[in-house]
Structure formats: structure tokens, C-alpha cells
């Protein structure tokens, strides 16, 4: 008899990497604080989840995603270069011990964690299905981009999806507002962590 029945819930920690935090190539204001809050939340709530999965931008040659004259909509300065310190998980997550890690964007732009694969080449959706995951909580950086796209893809796959709004931060307030509206319209719950 199981003492703790499975929750069928996963925590998706999206792109909490130095490249997206203060001092990084594509810094989001408040990134370091989000990294610390995500680490603290994961440490105290690990038992609420069957699996914890991290995603990372991991760019080798993403083509037009990188630009010397970025528009910050479709093109960006070089960031999250594969193998660089900036592309690793944020030091605040040193004790996270994720069950799975997926990397995305090697040779293309990739905003959603569902575009990523683990070291064995298994996509995120397959990893979650293997654990019979039905619910996902999405946290990380940036709310307006990779968190939003990961959450939208999770919802499209039929997963009950929640974004923990105090464990993410948008590129800008306006873009955050737009992202939250899009996520709410897709039936994604926007809640503060407890």
C-alpha cells in the first residue's frame, strides 16, 4: 500500500538560467529574485510533485533567432550559448535535483519547453506521459515568452495547467499583461504559490 498516492502533478521550471538574469546576455529585471524564489518553493514543495523538470535554452546556431540588430520580438542578441556558464541552470537551483532536464533551441528559436528534449532525445510531452502527469505548474523566466509558450502548449496537450505568478517575471509589465491575458483565455490558472 502506498503511503503517498501519486499526485499526477509536475513542476516545470522554465529557463531559470543566468543568461536571463541580471548581468546576463538577455537579462530580465528580477530574474535573480525569481531564481531564489523558485529554489525555495521547490525545496519546500517537492513532495507535492511526482516529477520536477527543468528546461534550458541551449543555442548552438539558432539562425535568425540571433541578430546583431535585434528587434526583441522575433530576433534577439546572442544568449544561452550551449556549454557556456550563462546557459547552465542558475546557481540558486544547485540543490534542485530535477527528475528530468530538457534543452531546446539548438538550431532554431524555441520558446516552449515542449520543443526541448532530454539527453536521450525524449521530448517533454513523452517524459510527462511516462509519469501519467495530468497537472503541471509552470514557473521560471520569462513569463511573457518561454513560460507563456510552455504553459500554452501544456494546455493544448490537455494538461491542467497553472502558472505560479510570483515565481515568474515578464520581460516588461506590458508584455506580462498581454501574456497573462493569453494564458487566461486558454484556461490556464494564474495563481500565487502557497
- Any idea which residues carry the catalytic annotation? 15, 104, 146
Q: What contacts 75, CB < 8 A, 6 or more positions away? A: 64, 65, 66, 67, 69
Q: What contacts 179, CB < 8 A, 6 or more positions away? A: 143, 144, 145, 147, 148, 170
Q: Which residues make beta-bridge pairs with 11? A: 52, 137
Q: Which residues make beta-bridge pairs with 67? A: none
Which phi-psi region, left, alpha or beta, contains residue 63 (left: φ > 0; alpha: ψ -120 to 50)?
A: left
Amino acid at each position: 500500500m502506498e503511503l503517498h498516492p501519486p499526485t499526477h502533478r509536475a513542476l516545470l521550471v522554465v529557463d531559470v538560467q543566468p543568461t536571463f538574469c541580471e548581468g546576463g546576455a538577455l537579462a530580465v529585471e528580477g530574474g535573480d529574485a525569481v531564481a531564489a524564489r523558485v529554489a525555495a518553493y521547490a525545496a519546500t514543495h517537492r513532495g507535492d510533485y511526482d516529477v520536477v523538470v527543468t528546461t534550458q535554452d541551449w543555442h548552438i546556431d539558432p539562425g535568425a533567432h540571433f541578430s546583431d540588430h535585434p528587434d526583441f520580438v522575433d530576433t534577439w542578441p546572442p544568449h544561452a550559448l550551449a556549454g557556456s556558464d550563462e546557459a547552465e541552470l542558475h546557481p540558486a537551483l544547485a540543490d534542485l535535483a530535477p527528475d528530468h532536464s530538457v534543452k531546446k533551441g539548438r538550431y532554431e528559436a524555441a520558446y516552449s519547453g515542449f520543443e526541448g528534449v532530454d539527453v536521450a532525445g525524449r521530448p517533454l510531452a513523452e517524459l510527462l506521459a511516462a509519469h501519467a502527469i495530468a497537472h503541471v505548474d509552470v514557473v521560471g523566466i520569462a513569463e511573457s515568452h518561454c513560460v507563456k509558450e510552455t504553459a500554452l502548449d501544456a494546455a493544448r496537450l490537455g494538461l491542467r495547467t497553472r502558472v505560479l505568478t510570483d515565481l515568474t517575471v515578464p520581460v516588461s509589465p506590458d508584455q506580462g499583461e498581454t501574456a497573462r491575458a493569453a494564458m487566461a483565455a486558454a484556461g490556464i490558472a494564474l495563481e500565487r504559490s502557497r
